A and B are shown apart, each in its own frame.
Chain A
Amino acid sequence: MVNLEELKSEIKRVLGEGKVKYFIGYRRSTGGLPAAPFFMKETEDVERLIWDPTCIANLTRFLDDEKKRKARQKEPDTRPIGIIVKGCDSRAINVLLQEEFIKREDVYIVGVSCEHSGMVDEKKLAAKMKGKAVAQVDFAGKDNFAVTAADGEKTGIPAAEVLAGRCVECKVDYPVVRDVTFGEELARSPGNAFKSVEKIEAMSVAERWDFWKEQFDKCIRCYACRSVCPMCYCDECVVDTINFAVTAQTGAKEKAQKIKWIEKSPATSENFFYHMVRAMHLAGRCVDCGECERVCPVDIPLRFLNKKMEKEAKELFDYDVGMNPELPSLVSSFRDEDAEDFIR
């Protein structure tokens, strides 16, 4: 069990000693069930820290933002950032370390184990509670959640019924990189880590197309998936040219020469292009934190796409994402025995 008081006192200690610039954790949200990201600067702030199954957000995205902010400052505060990570979030840090986007000394990592269960899926819980408002969810031993409704009624719910998709297929539910850990470090054994992907693989070519066409046609191209992803940290993104640096000095010729790979309008072909480019850019980098799927306003199952690339990386190249920051990344390495049966 993660002891919240111990966790709080550790963060208070680190903040009190002035070791970190600020500490990122979770607090109760003022709207909705999922916990809100919480930036703690003073030791008094820490009292509002929470740790329960609603702490679903992946906070590592803020490390990207912090790095960019620091790059713009003349005399940046070079102290590290404190951050609370779950198993999946810690793998995201590993990938960022592997790509040398952040340095290990720039983060102070406090790991928390997911108590053998995981995070709660808001939509599944709402369905389970039949629309009844939920005030609080707590861990209740192995594979159980204690749910407190808004009217004060308490119920126990088996975790498996309301667990987020990412947690059902999670392989390592404890932090793989951290300075200090709270809770037990016990690897879980999921039935099948790629069950959702296999369901789609079993379809015929035409069925698969129809499935994805239905999903991608919903896309309104809000780029929420890109904004929330800790791996989407590029300054310039290939899919929307508003990101390209166009200044007063940029001439018409230069503007005209910028390659426009993709239309902004949400047409079928352009949505496929966007999501496939994203899947390729995340191949061997996506840690399956499932944030893209969670924030999607039109419920596109984006995890299935990224999970597929993770599966191929594992099956074709025996590559585990985010487990070892020392190894070269998936597409910047090769083995002599890589499959080439598809090449004539």
Chain B
Amino acid sequence: MAEEFEPKIVAFLCKWCSSAGSDLAGVSRMKYPPNVVPITVMCSGSVSPLYILSAFNQGADGVLVSGCHPGDCHYIEGNYYARRRIALVRKLLQYVGLEPQRFQMSWVSAAEGQKYTQVIQDFVDTLKPLGAQKKLRRKK
């Protein structure tokens, strides 16, 4: 029997909310798919478009950027900048012909372990039928 395709997701989680949220999911023993490679960044606003393109370049099937809810940013306004920048990256990725489902953004607070597991579960479910991301992947 052929093995089912397991997508690889790179998740950029902000240190103050989303990373703590994923931590809460972990310590609460919540179950969610092990397809995520979490990368903690200081703020969602510090996620350069370069990181996202590089993740796809290195073979990620999906990229998630997650930060604090608007108004909750530890640095007051970092996630507002992120929101604007990520919107542009998303439009650009769609424009060059990448499946729009492969790139997502979410707000996950430190108390939303449940929401984090749900975001990951849904992301994995949408990526599975798409198959491996080969368009932007570097050929070894």
Contact = CB atoms under 8 A, between A and B. Distances in A.
Contacts of B49: 276-277, 280
Interface in A264-321: 267-270, 272-273, 276-277, 279-280, 283, 305, 308-309, 312-313, 316-317
Given A262-B57, A305-B96, A309-B91, 7 more contacts: A209-B135, A269-B138, A270-B57, A272-B96, A276-B92, A305-B95, A317-B84
Interface in A168-208: 200-201, 205-208
26 contacts: A200-B95, A205-B94, A208-B97, A209-B97, A209-B135, A210-B97, A212-B96, A213-B97, A262-B57, A267-B139, A269-B137, A272-B136, A273-B136, A276-B49, A277-B50, A279-B92, A280-B50, A280-B92, A283-B92, A305-B95, A305-B96, A332-B81, A334-B83, A338-B83, A340-B70, A343-B105
A309 B88 contact: yes
B76 to A, nearest CB: 12
A242 interface: no
User: How many B residues are at the interface, by size bracket?
Assistant: 35 or more
A334 B81 contact: yes
Nearest to A201: B95
Interface string B73-98: 00001001101111111111111111
A314 B107 CA distance: 25
B119 interface: yes
Contacts of B94: 205, 208
B80 A338 contact: yes
Interface class of chain B by DSSP: helix
Interface of B: 49-50, 53-54, 57, 70, 77, 80-81, 83-100, 104-107, 119, 135-139
Contact residues on A (Cβ < 8 Å of other chain), bracket: 35 or more
A39 B112 CA distance: 63
B9 to A, nearest CB: 15
A317 B84 CA distance: 8
